[in-house]
Structure 1
Amino acid sequence: MKLKITLLFIAFISTISFAQTKVGSIDSDYIISLMPENKVILKMAQKYGAKLDSSFTVKVEDFRARLKDYQAKEKEMGDLEKKTVQKELASLEQDINQYQKNGNTLMGLKRDELMRPLYKKLSNVIAEVSKANGYTQILTTTGNQFAYLDPKFDITDLVIKKLGITVPKPTKQ
């Protein structure tokens, strides 16, 4: 019985020793910022933002014109007319605030939609590089608080190379 337990224990320990993991790290935001497609996506997002801004500007200008008109005619208005115009102005202001909130949400959704192909491409290359180099796990350094990361396990340069991106030389200042 002791022999069987000892053999099982040895088999278990040897299984654990064969199942070693190799963990690497990557700076995905750095790679995304270097990708040439990123510049095109940023321009597209800026155009979309400009279109949203132009609609917002029209709404704000309309509100300001109505407010100015109200302020000019306020002394001549009756109480009922004042309350009606004030309600309209408050409603317009609420619409503007809601439009601004929706615009921020739409901008974020559009940016995510445009960036999705870049992240998919990066993810595929990370998987290829990880498999080729025997990594079992890759952690992203962006947004995480690591106390220490050994640079020899950072695959950022390998992925950049696989993507065919040239890294700009740092300028001396």
Structure 2
Amino acid sequence: MKKLSVLFAAVIMVVSVGMAKAQKIATVDVMGVLNAMPEKKKADADIKTFLDSKQAEIKKKADAGQAKLKQYSEEAPKKTADENKARETELQKLQEEIAQMQDKAQKDLQAKQDVAFGPIEKKLNDAIEKVAKANGYEFIMDANSAAFVYKSGADATAAVKKELGIN
């Protein structure tokens, strides 16, 4: 029975190695291709501009809050307890507004990235699929993947870049 198990395991290994060799596998440097695409470069610039403007708005509001805090701290000994309490409430409200602005900016940024990068990703995937079909590849994997242990197959990066019309 033990010999039968060993024989069965050996047969399975031989068959699986034979099947693996029959498959055509290629890799593609996805990040390299994406970074070479003019659409991605423009989207990155647009996203950076958007992010910079949101950060400037938040900084302006935060600076105004810091100025008020400094002013209120200096004037606190001269004010009544009720006035100081009202000022404290005002500062807390301002702090909450800044936090809401940051949350909204993060959500807006994510939405803008989704809208900007969706078509770019689709274009890349379509080009990869076209190259795979044209060259008979059954699998194309990302060359930058941490899951790679060994790479020794066709590299489809050049073909994908050619399909997209980039160098």
The letter for the 1-side match of 2:86 is T
Deviations 1:131-169 (A, max 9, x none): 01111222223343311111x322111111222212xxx
Matches within 5 A, 1:1-173: 20-150=22-152, 152-166=153-167
Which stretch shows the higher mean deviation, 129-138 or 47-56?
47-56
Partner of 2:10: none
CA distance in structure 1 between the partners assigned to 2:133 and 2:74 by the alignment: 72
TM-score normalised over the length of structure 2: 0.78
Which stretch shows the higher mean deviation, 92-101 or 115-124?
92-101
TM-score normalised over the length of structure 1: 0.76
CA distance in structure 2 between the partners assigned to 1:114 and 1:163 by the alignment: 18
| Count of residues in correspondence between the two structures | 149
The answer for unaligned runs of 5 or more in structure 1 is: 1-12, 167-173
User: What is the CA distance between 1:86 and its match in structure 2?
Assistant: 1.1
Partner of 2:6: none
The answer for unaligned runs of 5 or more in structure 2 is: 1-14
Superposition misfits of 4+ residues, deviation over 4 angstroms: none
RMSD: 2.1
CA distance in structure 2 between the partners assigned to 1:154 and 1:106 by the alignment: 37
Which stretch shows the higher mean deviation, 123-132 or 51-60?
51-60
Is the alpha carbon distance of 1:143 and 1:101 closer, same or farther for their aligned partners in structure 2, counting shifts above 3 Å? farther
